[in-house]
Structure 1
Amino acid sequence: MQDHTRKRGPRPTTAQTRQRILDAAAEVMERLGLANATTKEIARSSGYSEATLYKHFADKSELFLEVLRHRFPPFVAELAALPERVGRGDVRATLCDVVVGAVPFFRHGAPMLGSLFAEPALLRRHREGLDAHGAGPHNVNRAVAGYLGAERDLGRLTPDTDPDATAALLVGACFQRGFLEAFGGGAEGLPPLDRFAADLVSSLRVLPRDAVDG
């Protein structure tokens, strides 16, 4: 395969090369599923060599994580910003924002990740790769639980709020909704996402009475 860096014309910048690789990786992962999205296929789709891929990304797991951060619905950045929202704004609004961000993220990722479960060896390698980068699906629950715990300690949630259990309920419901949308090819027959978010947050019963009634 001929590498784009060898073609005539201006040499792409590092940022341009990374963007082209990320675009190709996102397209291949969505089209083939993560199990079949080899670095060879991503390189072919991007027009670069595999050697060029490895100059910009340490391994396939790092490339996948960058796709999550920059080519998926922007949920990863929203999770990272949760500590900045502690004690600020309306807790219910923040939790609704989490739901509205999580559902499209899970809907987009479910088909891509699903193929891994048919290949146990690939799933194990992918899991090990994510562990090496300190990443994984458990971090979603951790981020939400951390936010809930901090708000409880400030008295903005009921004192008996269990952050881990509440995060599991919230994130689990979002994952199910995302899976149903992916399986059904859309949200037909499901309540609008903003109403789903509001109903889900209210059902958790963690907001003080005055916050619910206000």
Structure 2
Amino acid sequence: MPKTADRADRILDAAGELMLRLGYRKVTIEDVARRAHVGKGTVYLHWRTKGELFEALMLRASTGMLTEMAARLRQDPREIQPHRYLRSAFLVIQRDPLLRAAVTADTELLGSLTQSPVRAQEQKIHERYCALVTEHGLVRDDVPHLEYALNAASLGFFTLDSLDAGTPHLDAETTADVLAHTVKHAFEPEGEPDPSSLTSAANEIADLFDALNTTFRERIYGPEDERG
């Protein structure tokens, strides 16, 4: 029986609702099938194991983020600048509890999914992004271990509230503004960047996001000719 994207999405929606409520470890295929109003065997027509099902769920969350970030980059190449790029990424991630859990490696919610291929792909994106902004002079050339430093600086904005109960709570927009200010003044050179460099770097990252989305969708739904 061919896969259908509509049915797959219904099953993934059910899986997401249950995981957010119960956590990955406690959810069973039977639970997901019942919630999606399909038979257990129907779930296995799409994914062979519970792990594959929930990996597809995480990949689907990533495709939403990649699509939005690519659109931002193509609409305004200045979005490739680290302070703007990380601000936008922070807000997109904050809107999706699955993406937040992936970034913070929330084992309570994700269980073994914290080691999923989604994390590996995110790291590859970050590596390529750091290489591009360095190549185009969008970051200072005196920052040691840039990739590590950017990771450490941005991750703190996702985790501080849960680590330090005494920290004043800021809403997402304010936190994103503070993140952008920090990154701009800590990592970026003074002056305005060359517009052609912005466009070149923005287009390359947007193209990378589009290519990843194609790969991710095939892993989620199967090849195009099987979707029905």
TM-score of the two chains, using structure 1 as the length reference: 0.66
Does residue 134 of structure 2 align to residue 152 of structure 1? yes
* Alignment deviations for residues 35-81 of structure 1 (CA, whole Å, 9 cap, x no partner): 111112111222222221111123222321332244589435457x4
Structure 2 stretches lacking a partner, 5+ long:
194-228
Cα gap change, 1:145 to 1:196, in 2 (>3 Å): farther
Q: Is the 8 A contact 1:157 1:208 kept in 2?
A: yes
Which structure's residues are more often helix, by fraction?
2
From 35, 38, 44, the equivalent of 2:34 is: 44
2:87 to 96, 115, 121: 96
Q: Is the 8 A contact 1:103 1:174 kept in 2?
A: no
Q: Is the 8 A contact 1:96 1:198 kept in 2?
A: yes
Deviation at 1:114, TM superposition (A): 0.9
Partner Cα separation in structure 2 for residue 111 and residue 155 of structure 1: 31
AA partner of residue 198 (structure 1): D
**Map of 1:202 onto structure 2:** 181
Q: Is the 8 A contact 1:96 1:197 kept in 2?
A: yes
Aligned to 2:16: 26
Structure 1, unaligned runs of 5 or more: 1-12, 118-122
More RCO (CA 8 Å, sep 6+)? 2
Distance of 1:207 and 1:18 partners within structure 2: 43
Equivalenced residue count is 181
Pick from 97, 122, 140 the counterpart of residue 140 of structure 1: 122
- RMSD, matched Cα: 3.8
Change (3 A) 1:38 1:112: farther
The equivalent of 1:7 in structure 2 is none
Larger gyration radius, structure 1 or structure 2: 1
Q: How big is each residue's C-alpha offset from its partner over 1:87-123, in whole Å with a ceiling of 9 and x where there is no partner? A: 9324132221112123344575379741566xxxxx3
Q: In 2, Cα distance between the equivalents of 1:170 and 1:145?
A: 15
- Mapped to 2, the partners of 1:104 and 1:189 lie a distance apart of 20
Summarize the Cα distance change of 1:192–1:68 in structure 2 as closer, same or farther, 3 Å threshold: same
Change (3 A) 1:66 1:94: same
User: What per-residue deviation string (whole Å, max 9, x for no partner) do you get for residues 143-163 of structure 1?
Assistant: 223212211111111113433
Compared CA separation, residues 44 and 163, structure 1 to 2 (3 A): same
